[in-house]
Structure 1
């Protein structure tokens, strides 16, 4: 099963909220490059299909984190399958239609300049990162407050947000911390730079 098929299987099994069908129509349409877009320009998932692969990795990492005994017994975190799927699969919708294929020059092992393929970031809707994903999703379906904060602050302290707000969001909406943990695990341990 490829990444697109896996995404569709999870989405269709777990997400049934009013408007979710319209959001999926958009993701599958010619107006969206969600299934072919990279996840970044040069770092994790910097290749065709990297965005959907990253979203699936975050989904698996989030499910694993939330399944930990300590998370249930001590932190008392308990979320339904729909919320988990929504925040993990859709947290980076802000990256749709932002990456354009290009080239850059780099020296090879012999010191000779070579043109290599790369991606350039060209955001035509510069609304921020997490907040842009929330904006796109809520154009189709409602999010719970906890889901909206999780997506908004999924970058955690590595984002450009006021650090006080990040800490407050993590404390008040623990799904924010869980999603950030899953996103960082997927980014740095499962993906990293493509060699």
Structure 2
């Protein structure tokens, strides 16, 4: 089973709220490059299909994180399979249709050659997490905790004021869990291709 098939299977098995079917239809349409897009230009998942692969890694990491006894017993972090799938699989949908294939010059063995790379070209520069929330909310309802988790999944590595991130982590623990899963996937599971 390839990554697109895995994603669709997890999505269909877990995300049932009204409008979710229309969003999946959009993801699979010619209007979305979600299954072919990279996750970044130079860093994690900077290759065709990197975005869906990263999303699956975050899903696996979040499920593992939330399965810890401490999360249940001490932190009282109890989330439905639907919530877990929504925030993990869809946290980076802001990256749909923003990476364009291009070439650049690179010196290889003393010779300049053209190598492929991705340019970032966002036609809806609405921010990172907030853009994902904005897009999703046009298809189906997010709970407040889901919206905060997606909005602040970049944690303290984004340009947000630290007090906003801290507030989100303190009041919406799913934000912290998703941010942790995103970092784990980014730094330990996703690969980076040298161009």
Quickly name the TM-score band, shorter chain normalised: over 0.9
Partner of 2:125, secondary structure, is coil
Give the C-alpha shift of residue 194 in structure 1: 2.2
Q: Taking structure 2 as the reference length, what is the TM-score of the superposition?
A: 0.98
- Residue 183 (structure 2) aligns with: 184
Unaligned runs of 5+ in 2: none
Partner of 1:105, secondary structure, is strand
Give the C-alpha shift of residue 71 in structure 1: 1.2
Q: Would you say how many aligned residue pairs link Structure 1 and Structure 2?
A: 194
Could you tell me how far apart the structure 2 residues matched to 1:92 and 1:163 are?
21
Could you tell me how far apart the structure 2 residues matched to 1:58 and 1:136 are?
19
- Residue 114 (structure 2) aligns with: 115
Could you tell me how far apart the structure 1 residues matched to 2:30 and 2:4 are?
15
Give deviations 1:83-130, integer Å, cap 9, x for gaps: 00000000000000000000111222x232221110000000000000
Could you tell me how far apart the structure 2 residues matched to 1:40 and 1:111 are?
28
- Residue 48 (structure 1) aligns with: 48
- Residue 100 (structure 1) aligns with: 100
- Residue 80 (structure 2) aligns with: 80
Q: CA RMSD in A?
A: 0.8
Q: Which runs of 4+ in 1 moved over 3 A?
A: none
Unaligned runs of 5+ in 1: none
Give the C-alpha shift of residue 192 in structure 1: 4.0
Q: Taking structure 1 as the reference length, what is the TM-score of the superposition?
A: 0.98
